[in-house]
Amino acid sequence: MKIGVVGCAGRMGQMLVREIAATAGCTLAGGTERVGGPALGKDLGVLAGLDPLGVTAIDDPVALFAEADAVIDFTSPESTERHAALAAQSETVLVVGTTGLNPSQQAAIATAATHTAIVQSPNMSLGVNLLLALVEQVAHTLGDDFDIDILEMHHRRKVDAPSGTALGLGHAAAAGRGVKLEDVWQKVRDGHTGARPRGEIGFATLRGGDVIGDHTVMFAGEGERIELTHKASGRQIYAKGAVRAALWAQDKTPGLYSMRDVLGL
């Protein structure tokens, strides 16, 4: 399977290049960078700290989608929306790890998924997707007798809050309770807030240092508390999951899939 990477010179893009190069059953189709970027024309292997791979960074995503069987996207919401349209036109598998998308951008991805297979997840790691399944199960079992709060911490450079993974965990908890997260979430608490409403799902966001990603879901009841936690110690787990998703999707019909589909959860 020929897999391309958009944003190939970034930190995540370099990890994806290394993972594709090391994974049996796939080859690197190419990679793109922004117009005028310093990485243009450079070998993707060299950019990723490997021996040369014979593929250079380009600034034309149309050409990349035409060449690749699948493209992996960990860029920005605006770029991902454009890439989804290209994937639909070329019927190329798209793996989306971008977070922070607004409803319009998410709708564009859903529309593109009527033409090609798209795997989208707020977090590509095996552990986090197991956590999503567990959170839904625990929320269903405990009901709203237990308060739910989601605590997350990331490095100081992260631009969206709460994180996409935290919101994914919130959606899993809400699904377990049979409600929509948007109807019960509380993203910020400040000042005189009054008593906590029954059924509310709260979020707390921390930013600092070089933390890759820590997430804890707390179920607090009378006299006891359950905490489910995942801590990422390296970003390579996201690259491994994304490449696995691309390989899984290569023979799938058009549709919007998740990592839970990929992992059979």
Q: Read off the pLDDT of residues 148-185 as tens digits, 9 standing for 90 and up.
A: 999 999 999 999 999 989 999 999 999 999 999 999 99
User: Taking 90 as the threshold, does the pLDDT of residue 40 lie above it?
Assistant: yes
The answer to whether residues 60 and 42 belong to one domain is yes
Closest among 218, 215, 148, 141 to 176, alpha carbons compared: 141
Q: CA 46 to CA 41: how far, in whole Å?
A: 11
User: Taking 90 as the threshold, does the pLDDT of residue 211 lie above it?
Assistant: yes
> Are 42 and 13 contacting, i.e. CB atoms less than 8 angstroms apart?
no
The answer to whether residues 226 and 246 belong to one domain is no
The answer to whether residues 87 and 150 belong to one domain is no
Catalytic hit among 2, 42, 158, 252: 158
Share of the chain above pLDDT 90, in %: 94
User: Taking 90 as the threshold, does the pLDDT of residue 39 lie above it?
Assistant: yes
User: Taking 90 as the threshold, does the pLDDT of residue 235 lie above it?
Assistant: no
What residues form the annotated binding site for NAD(+)? 7-12, 51, 97-99, 121-124
- Average pLDDT over every residue of 223-231: 98
Looking at residue 234, what is its pLDDT? 87
Share of the chain above pLDDT 70, in %: 100
What residues form the annotated binding site for (S)-2,3,4,5-tetrahydrodipicolinate? 155, 164-165
Q: CA 23 to CA 5: how far, in whole Å?
A: 15
Q: Is 158 a catalytic residue?
A: yes
Total domains in the fold of the chain? 2
Q: How confident is the model at residue 123 (pLDDT cuts 50, 70, 90)?
A: confident
The answer to whether residues 150 and 179 belong to one domain is yes
User: Which domain covers residue 215, as residue numbers?
Assistant: 126-232
CATH number at residue 186: 3.30.360.10
What residues form the annotated binding site? 7-12, 51, 97-99, 121-124, 155, 164-165
Closest among 104, 139, 124 to 226, alpha carbons compared: 139
The answer to whether residues 110 and 136 belong to one domain is no
The answer to whether residues 53 and 178 belong to one domain is no
The answer to whether residues 27 and 133 belong to one domain is no
**Reported pTM:** 0.81
CATH number at residue 69: 3.40.50.720
- Average pLDDT over every residue of 108-137: 95
Cβ atoms < 10 Å from Cβ of 35: 8
User: Taking 90 as the threshold, does the pLDDT of residue 100 lie above it?
Assistant: no
The answer to whether residues 154 and 72 belong to one domain is no
The answer to whether residues 115 and 96 belong to one domain is yes
Mean residue pLDDT across the chain: 96
Q: CA 101 to CA 81: how far, in whole Å?
A: 9
The answer to whether residues 100 and 45 belong to one domain is yes
Q: Is 154 a catalytic residue?
A: yes
Catalytic hit among 154, 171, 230, 240: 154
The answer to whether residues 151 and 107 belong to one domain is no
The answer to whether residues 104 and 159 belong to one domain is no
